[in-house]
Amino acid sequence: MRPLFKPALLAAVAASALGAHAQGNVKPPKVQLWMDVSTGGMAGMPELPAGMGAMGGMFGGGRGGDAATTYGQARGLTVMPPRVLDIALLNTLRPGQEAQQLIPAGMRMGDSLPLVPPKVEPTPRGEPGTAQDMPREKPKGRVLVYWGCGAEVRKGQPRVIDLARGNPADYAAAFAGRYAPDRGARVTPQYALYPNEKNHVQLARDSSLVGEHRIQGEGIPASMRFTLAAAQDLMPAIELQAKGDVKDSVPLSWKTVPNARAYYLQAMGQVGDDLVLWSSAETGDTGMGLFDYLPNATIDRWVKESVLLKPDVTSCAVPKGIFAGSEGAMTRMMAYGSESNFAHPPRPADPKAAWAPEWAVRVRVKASTMAMLGQDTATAQQEPQQQQQQPGAPADPVQGAVEGLGGAAGAAGAVLKGLFGR
C-alpha cells in the first residue's frame, strides 16, 4: 500500500511540533509523543459518575457519549469526565501503526494503554436547509469589555465595540487579544491516539502519573521511556467559590492549586442585546485565546505583564453591577501547570553540536473550572447532599446535582446560545 504521507513530510511535522527546526546540525526526532492532561469541574457541583452520556456532551465538548473515546478533549474546558488524558504518537518509522504506553500502577488504568490510529471518516456535507445554508442574522448590540480585579469599575472602562455597525473589523476586534499558537499534534491517520474505541478508561480521583512511562511498538526505539515527577502530576480540581448578587461586586476566591504557575479568570454574560466580558487581567483584551495550554516561558512573561495572576493569588472581585440584568452570567477559570519535555539522547550543552534525537516527549498539565455568577457555589454543593438524605430526594445523583446548582447547566446553555446564535 502506498503511504499517504512521505517519511520526509512526517519528519518535518515532528520537528515543527517539537519546536526544533530541521536545519543545520539539528535533526527532528524519529518518534514524537504528546501527552496532555487536564482536570475540569464546575464550582459547586459534586463530581459525577463517569459515562453519563448526554450530560458528558453538555459539559465536555458536545460529543455526548462519544466524548470518552475522542482524542482532543483535554484542550477544552471539561466538566465530565473531570479528568482527561490525551495521548498522540507520531512514529515516522512505522506511521499509522498501533503501539502501547506502559504506565505506572498509580494511574489506576491498568498496565498499559493502547495507542490506536484514528479512523478516516468522510467530511459530512450539509443538506439543503441545514444551518450552514441558512442566512445568518446580522449581529446587533455591543460588546462591553471590562478588566481587572476590584469591587468598582475602573476609570476608562468599558471598552465598547458596536456590532450593529456591521464592520467586519469590529467583529475581529471584539475577540482579538493574546493567544498562544497551536502547538498540538496535527492528527492524521499516521498517528496513534488515546483514548480510542479499544480502550477509554478514565483517570480516577486518586490517580497519579508519577513514575516511569514506556512506549512500545513496531519501530519504536527500546530507549523510549521517561519518568514523571510530582511537578508533572495530574493537577487537583480548582476549588472556586463565587458569592453575591450580580447587582453587586462578586467576590471570587479559591484555594492555592499545587503546581500552578498562574491563574486566569474570565466572565461573560448577555445584558439585553449587549455581550459583557470581564477578565482578571490588567489588560483590555478579551482573553479568548488564553483557555488552552501555554508554554512555560509565555506563562512567566504574561505574569510579569499582569495578564495572568501570580500563583500565590487566591481571590479576585468582579466589578459591581457590570452583569446586572443578566440571568446567565458565568465565569471560567484556568490554573496553568507546567510543560515538560524529554528527549533521547538529550541535547548537547553546546548549541552548535550535532543533535539527532531518537525520540521526544512533551507533557502538559492544566486545570479549569466554571461557576455561575449570582449563585452561592458553597451552598449549591451542599444542597444535593442534603436532598439525598430527605424523603423524595432524586435518586439520580446527576439530577440532584443540577437541581442543587439552581439550573446552572441550563442557564449556561442559554448564555452560549444567546451569544453565538446557536
Q: How far is 229 from 212, CA to CA, in rounded Å?
A: 9
Nine-digit cell at 342? Answer: 524529554
Nine-digit cell at 281? Answer: 487581567
Q: How far is 299 from 295, CA to CA, in rounded Å?
A: 6
CB–CB of 95/192 below 8 Å?
Answer: no
Give 38's strand partners. 84, 366
Give 332's strand partners. 266, 370
In the block, cell 463517569 appears at: 50
pLDDT of residue 145: 94
pTM above 0.85, yes or no: no
What is the span of the domain harbouring residue 336? 7-120+138-377+398-420
Q: How many separate domains does the chain show?
A: 1
Helices (H), 44-186: 54-59, 168-175
CB–CB of 302/283 below 8 Å?
Answer: no
β pairing state of 99-102 and 112-115: antiparallel
pLDDT of residue 267: 96
In this structure, is residue 110 part of a structural domain?
yes
In this structure, is residue 307 part of a structural domain?
yes
* Nearest one of 234, 243, 237 to 371, comparing CA atoms: 243
Cα separations in angstroms, 281 against 180, 275, 287, 317: 16, 18, 8, 12
Q: How far is 166 from 127, CA to CA, in rounded Å?
A: 29
In this structure, is residue 131 part of a structural domain?
no
* Sheet containing strand 112-115, strands side by side: 112-115, 99-102, 211-217, 225-228
E strand residue ranges, 40-111: 83-91, 99-102
In this structure, is residue 314 part of a structural domain?
yes
Nine-digit cell at 233? Answer: 502530576
Nine-digit cell at 180? Answer: 498562544
In this structure, is residue 142 part of a structural domain?
yes
How many other C-beta atoms lie within 10 A of the C-beta of residue 372?
A: 27
pLDDT of residue 122: 66
- Report CA torsion sign: 121, 122, 127, 130: positive
CB–CB of 290/334 below 8 Å?
Answer: yes
pLDDT digits (tens, 9 = 90+) for 36-53: 999 998 887 777 655 444
CB–CB of 158/277 below 8 Å?
Answer: no
In this structure, is residue 132 part of a structural domain?
no
Q: How far is 85 from 109, CA to CA, in rounded Å?
A: 11
In this structure, is residue 384 part of a structural domain?
no
In this structure, is residue 92 part of a structural domain?
yes
Helix (H) or strand (E) holding 386: helix 377-388
Q: How far is 275 from 43, CA to CA, in rounded Å?
A: 23
pLDDT of residue 209: 98
Q: How far is 301 from 242, CA to CA, in rounded Å?
A: 28
Q: How far is 249 from 297, CA to CA, in rounded Å?
A: 33
Q: How far is 46 from 332, CA to CA, in rounded Å?
A: 17
pLDDT digits (tens, 9 = 90+) for 380-412: 554 444 444 445 444 443 343 334 333 333 444
Q: How far is 415 from 327, CA to CA, in rounded Å?
A: 8
Q: Show the low-confidence residues of the chain (pLDDT under 50).
A: 1-22, 51-65, 130-134, 382-390, 392-422
